[in-house]
Amino acid sequence: MPPVKPMLAKSVAKIPPGMHYEAKWDGFRAIVFRDGDEVELGSRTGKTLTRYFPELVAALKERIPQRCVLDGEIVIAREGRLDFDALTERIHPAESRVRTLAERTPASFVAFDLLALDDHALLDVPLSDRRALLDRALDGVTPPVHLAPATTDIEVAREWFERYEGAGLDGIVAKPLALPYLPDERAMFKIKHERTADVVVAGYRLHKSGPVVGSLLLGLYDDHGVLQHVGVAAAFTMKRRAELIEELAPLRMTDVSGHPWARWAEESAHEEARLPGAPSRWSGKKDLSWVPLRPERVAEVAYDHMENGARFRHTARFRRWRPDRTPESCTYAQLEEPVRYDLTEILGSTG
User: What residues are paired with 21 via a beta bridge?
Assistant: 151, 174
CA proximity to 331, closest of 192, 206, 230, 251: 230
CA nearest to 192, candidates 315, 45, 18: 315
Report the 10 Å Cβ neighbour count for 1: 8
Is the Cα dihedral 49, 343, 23, 34 positive or negative? positive
CA–CA dist 292, 20 (Å, integer): 47
Residue from 209, 255, 263, 196 nearest 236 by CA = 209
Instruction: Tell me if 297 sits within 8 A of 248, measured CB to CB.
Output: yes
Sign of CA dihedral 243, 249, 255, 259: negative
Strand segments (E) across 247-350: 291-303, 306-307, 311-312, 317-321
Cis peptide before 3 (omega within 30 of 0): yes
Please identify which of the residues 5, 10, 14, 24 carries the catalytic annotation: 24
DSSP letter for 350, please: G
First-residue to last-residue Cα distance in the chain: 29
Residue whose C-alpha is closest to residue 298's, from 206, 240, 220, 204:
220
Helix, strand, or coil here: 104?
Answer: helix
Sheet strands (E) in 67-134: 67-75, 77-78, 81-82, 108-117, 120-121
Q: Give Cβ neighbours of residue 278 (< 8 Å, ≥ 6 apart).
A: 270, 288
24 is catalytic: yes
Catalytic residues: 24
